[in-house]
Amino acid sequence: MRRLLWVLLLSLALVLVILVARHDEGTVGSLSTGDFASLAVKLVILVAVGGAVLTLFRDRFSHALESALLWVVIGLLLVLAYTYRFDVRDASDRVLAELIPGHAAVHGHTVELARSHGGDFPISAQVNGVRISMILDTGASTVVLTNEAAKAAGLPLDMVKYSVNVDTANGRALAAAVTPDRVVIGGIAERSIPALIAQPGQLKTSLLGMSFLNRLQGWEVRGDKLLMRAYP
């Protein structure tokens, strides 16, 4: 153990000499001095841990070797998980988008939603910070909120006037014009989106209409996927 300690101390001293000598150049071979120092420290720690394990289990070398290999595998798995963490997150988002209606898979500035078995695109949006269930309706000129959704989002129902004529599946009806502070879908957030509030009992599900879609850089339906792209 004492011999190992001297080896580690000499290694650290050598690393320090190299760093001082190459300070002005800023590189050691193909590595920056910072990367070289980080690599050297990691190697020293690895040697120290490995030496300690071998010392503790010197009478059971096979057990020591098995333990060392196990920790090496665990370390490699952790490194791989960290390296590909964003790919893993994207894959989990895609799975959730398929399993949970309305869940948005976010890829950079693009949000992806899956079509439901009924053929619609359910969307889990946030209006003024409150989660609201919507359905994509490209035939609607604006976002249309049910009376219940508008109340949950804190919109002033006692101050609105139902004076806007709208065409619905049940015929013509009146709605109230409002402007929510913020509408968020996945990673896309838009402010001051023109919207309408349906009268009580007139609408079962809130609608995501063109007043939101027109704010985007682009959107498209590709098979069973709805893709919405925000401006960078």
The angle, 0 to 180 degrees and rounded to 10, between the axes of the packed helices 61-83 and 85-99 is 70
**Domain assignments of the chain as residue spans, ordered by start:** 2-83, 103-229
pTM assigned to the model? 0.59
pLDDT score for 3: 60
Cα–Cα distance, 14 to 11 (Å, whole number): 5
pLDDT score for 175: 95
Cα–Cα distance, 125 to 122 (Å, whole number): 10
pLDDT in tens, the chain (232 residues): 456 556 656 666 676 666 555 555 555 565 565 565 666 666 666 666 666 666 665 556 556 555 655 665 566 566 555 544 444 455 555 555 555 667 888 888 899 998 988 889 999 999 999 999 999 999 999 999 999 999 999 999 989 999 999 887 667 889 999 999 999 998 899 999 999 999 998 899 999 999 999 999 999 998 889 999 999 8
pLDDT score for 94: 56
Cα–Cα distance, 10 to 160 (Å, whole number): 78
pLDDT score for 122: 94
Retrieve residue 80's tokens.
């791989």
Q: Provide Rg for the chain, Cα atoms.
A: 30
pLDDT score for 219: 96
pLDDT score for 86: 47
pLDDT score for 84: 45
Match domain 103-229 to its CATH number in 1.10.1200.10, 3.40.50.360, 2.40.70.10, 2.60.40.1530: 2.40.70.10
Question: CA-CA distances (angstroms) from residue 176 to 66, 202, 212?
Answer: 71, 12, 17
